[in-house]
Amino acid sequence: MADVEHMERERARLFEEVADRYDRSRPSYPDAVIDEVLGSAPQGLCVLDVGCGTGIASRLMAARGARVLGVELNAGMAEIARRHGIPTEVAAFETWDPTGRTFDRVTCAQAWHWLDPQVSAEKMASVLRPGGRLCLFWNVSHQPDDLADALLVAYQRALPPEAPRMVRGYAANKASDAAANFSAVFNGLDARDKFEKPEIKSSPWTRSYTRDEWLDQLHTHSDHAALAPEVRENLFAEIGSTIDGFGGAFCMAYDTILISATRR
């Protein structure tokens, strides 16, 4: 658990100062995904939203009549979720005490990579009622390929040679790698005897960004937030200049991936 604890501390440090920016700039989720998560009778469903952040997904589920409880490691983000009406407990999910509570749904939106997958999958199964569903979902997106190619050059100009690989889009750089790594999550759940065979679905949608809107949300990406301030400033200037060269705005092609499994 030492690596998990280190990751948790690093996450808290990186996101503590950008919680408000995260709430205003991070993308939402399409109606089709929320409808699939909650089913045809969402009113009164008990939902546990793990790693709920500022409550972006939680609020969509609550708006459909579900009773949502959030668990979030970062106290600043949890406070924003509470301001939006989502009761949220501050804890790392792996050590969070459910105090005997069980749920119809356990969700995790855009946060699974921060968790210990084996410990978390077992714990999620333990708090799900029989017939309840575990729903993990992510937004994946990429800029148009010509802009993506230009941004690659901008990153190469701005970053030192020893800099780690960075995601220039939103979990993907180009259309060709949009669904990378989700098979490992799917197969991991499929190997657990507490769940029925998992399902994977995707919901495409689009969102337009201005130059400033894109730079605003880039501040909330952990790989960008971890850069030295002077390196980040230079990189963002290069990114902004590149987007300006494409008219100052672009349309982002999103795909929301949902992996769900029913509790036996």
Using CA atoms, how far apart are residues 165 and 159, in angstroms rounded to an integer? 10
Q: Hey, where are the domains in the chain?
A: 2-262
Name residue 254's beta-bridge partners.
141, 205
pLDDT of residue 264: 92
| Phi, then psi, of 229 in degrees rounded to 5 | -55, -45
DSSP state of 197: P
Give the CATH class of 2-262: alpha beta
- Burial of 46 from C-beta contacts in 10 A (0-12 / 13-18 / 19+): middle
Residue-by-residue pLDDT tens, the chain, 264 positions: 445 455 555 655 667 778 999 999 999 999 999 999 999 999 999 999 999 999 999 999 999 999 999 999 999 999 999 999 999 999 999 999 999 999 999 999 999 988 999 899 999 999 999 999 999 999 999 999 999 999 999 999 999 988 888 889 888 888 877 556 788 888 888 767 899 999 999 999 999 999 999 999 999 998 898 899 999 999 999 999 999 999 999 999 999 999 999 999
The amino acid present at 178, given as its one-letter code, is A
- Contact status, residue 20 vs residue 80, Cβ threshold 8 Å: yes
Closest CA to 241 of 161, 142, 157: 157
pLDDT of residue 130: 96
The amino acid present at 191, given as its one-letter code, is A
pLDDT of residue 222: 85
Give the CB-side neighbour count of residue 160, counting CA atoms within 13 A: 7
Q: Enter the tokens of residue 243.
A: 């987007």
- Contact status, residue 242 vs residue 154, Cβ threshold 8 Å: yes
pLDDT of residue 5: 53
Using CA atoms, how far apart are residues 196 and 160, in angstroms rounded to an integer? 47
Query: Could you tell me the strand order of the sheet in which 88-90 lies?
Result: 88-90, 67-72, 46-50, 103-109, 128-142, 249-262, 199-210
